[in-house]
Amino acid sequence: MSFLPHTDDERRQMLEVCGIPNMESLFADIPKDLSPASFDLPKGKSEMEVLTTFQALAEKNYSHLVNFLGGGFYDHFVPTAVDAITSRSEFYTAYTPYQPELSQGTLQAIYEFQTDICRLLDMDAANGSVYDGGTALYEACQMALNATKRERIVLDGGVNPVYRKMLTSYTANLDIQFTTVPVSHGHSDRDQIFAAIDENTAAVIVQNPSFFGVMDDHSDIVEHCHKHGVLVIQCVYPVAMALLTTPGEIGVDIAVGEGQSLGIPLAFGGPYLGFMATTKKLVRRMPGRIAGRTVDRNGKEAFVLTLQAREQHIRREKATSNICTNQGLCALRAHAYLSLMGREGLREVAQLCMDKRAYAGERLNAIPGVELMTHSPTFNELTIRLPADAGEITGAMVERGFAPGLPLGRFYPGMENYLLVAVTEKRTKHEIGLLAETLEAVLCQ
């Protein structure tokens, strides 16, 4: 039934109860040119009818696209149990765990997430997450600058350009120098990186896989940097870490990345999840919350915030960063996802991504006028060169139901004809085939 007044008598009764002489008085403070043109409203609807009406309107804006977008954010499958667990009110209403006696569940969830990240990356310690991958990279830079008392960062060109833009934005008013080194066929250019390092260099930032999806072993870079007292920050794709050499294995000082691929669905800009992990030597410089496991006075297991004073979170002049409330619910989703997948499940997902990327490369490379960049092995992304502007071709593909990839010209001048295509375990052989057939049809127009 409807509770909205829609007859003259009902409107009059409503106005009397409110002590208002007429409908126009309700809008007296609104300029005439912005006031409603008419109060001749349709008859009120029930809740079910309203929902049905708005759902029909919303569907006019919805266009289902087969998603091959990547560049740091990926369309992975999220088990239904992740939603079921994280939708429990005990979790999604929890706020700041400063009172451990009231927050054991939240603190344990943070602790378990930290443990997951440490195990995945083979690092000593992790925090309870930050806002997103770009924020994590910035915070890692600040850690390196504070630890070394130097002012310069060498930045590999294969690092996600969105993150690099965030770095320059965050540090625009700070006395920090950035030197960006171009990649060579998607790989880190060792000679240029080594040449860029000087006595004022605090850290070198690399990414694995690179923004182009290229897999790289940065152990030689780590060794060279450490000989010169330079820290190494590595940005990683967490799903790929199930198969690739981990940051801890090669001696990386700070590992960061975007955790969206760990059970968080794609949305319009977030929420996302930035994870951070480091060595014991640097753990006290790590921002954000760190949960620890201990025992209470009765000898029972307990969880607390540790290694940091509360001032680090709430007093600007004492804080290592502005990270406080962070993305705790997103961290919980990541923990639920990793727990459900397990070590072998995550490896299976990673292998499926690689295998399907290989099949997509074969199909796309067979299209006349399309060239697959094959200089370096990639994880779940590949770069193709098109015979025309990638942005224009992408627009035509969207009209046919495909988000075919990320045009690289918007980030790398001179690569206007290049398209970055990402393939996850969700993309079927049929969908990959349709992508190739549709792209060929668009190119033949």
* Same domain, yes or no: 96 and 160: yes
* Same domain, yes or no: 154 and 188: yes
Chosen domain end from 306, 337, 368: 337
- Domain at 207, CATH number: 3.40.640.10
Q: What is the residue-wise DSSP string for 75-98?
A: -----HHHHHHHTSHHHHT-----
* Same domain, yes or no: 297 and 414: no
* Same domain, yes or no: 331 and 386: no
Domain span at residue 375?
Answer: 66-75+342-443
* Same domain, yes or no: 71 and 85: no
* Same domain, yes or no: 318 and 435: no
Q: Is residue 43 included in any domain, yes or no? A: no
pLDDT, one tens digit per residue, over 336-361 is 999 999 999 999 999 999 999 999 99
Give the per-residue pLDDT at 325: 59
* Same domain, yes or no: 317 and 360: no
Give the per-residue pLDDT at 199: 96
How far is the C-alpha of 136 from the C-alpha of 276, rounded, in Å?
6
* Same domain, yes or no: 191 and 297: yes
Which residues of the chain register pLDDT less than 50?
A: 1-3
Q: Is residue 229 included in any domain, yes or no? A: yes
Q: Is residue 71 included in any domain, yes or no? A: yes
Chosen domain end from 279, 306, 337: 337
pLDDT, one tens digit per residue, over 301-324 is 999 988 876 666 666 666 666 565
Q: What is the residue-wise DSSP string for 104-120?
A: HHHHHHHHHHHHHHHHH
What is the β-pairing status of strands 406-407 and 418-422? Answer: antiparallel
Q: Is residue 307 included in any domain, yes or no? A: yes
What is the β-pairing status of strands 125-126 and 66-67? Answer: unpaired
Q: Is residue 189 included in any domain, yes or no? A: yes
Give the per-residue pLDDT at 321: 67
Collect all residues with Cβ–Cβ distance below 8 Å to 416 and sequence separation of at least 6: 389, 390, 391, 407, 408, 409
Give the per-residue pLDDT at 1: 39
* Same domain, yes or no: 84 and 124: yes
Split into its structural domains, the chain has a count of 2
Chosen domain end from 277, 303, 337: 337
Q: Is residue 47 included in any domain, yes or no? A: no
Token pair in block for residue 443: 């190119």
CA angle at residue 332 from 334 to 421, to 5 degrees?
25
* Same domain, yes or no: 251 and 116: yes
* Same domain, yes or no: 205 and 139: yes
CA angle at residue 129 from 82 to 252, to 5 degrees?
115
pLDDT, one tens digit per residue, over 262-305 is 999 998 778 899 999 999 999 999 988 899 999 999 999 999 98
Q: Is residue 50 included in any domain, yes or no? A: no
* pTM to 2 decimal places: 0.86
Give the per-residue pLDDT at 123: 98
Give the per-residue pLDDT at 424: 97
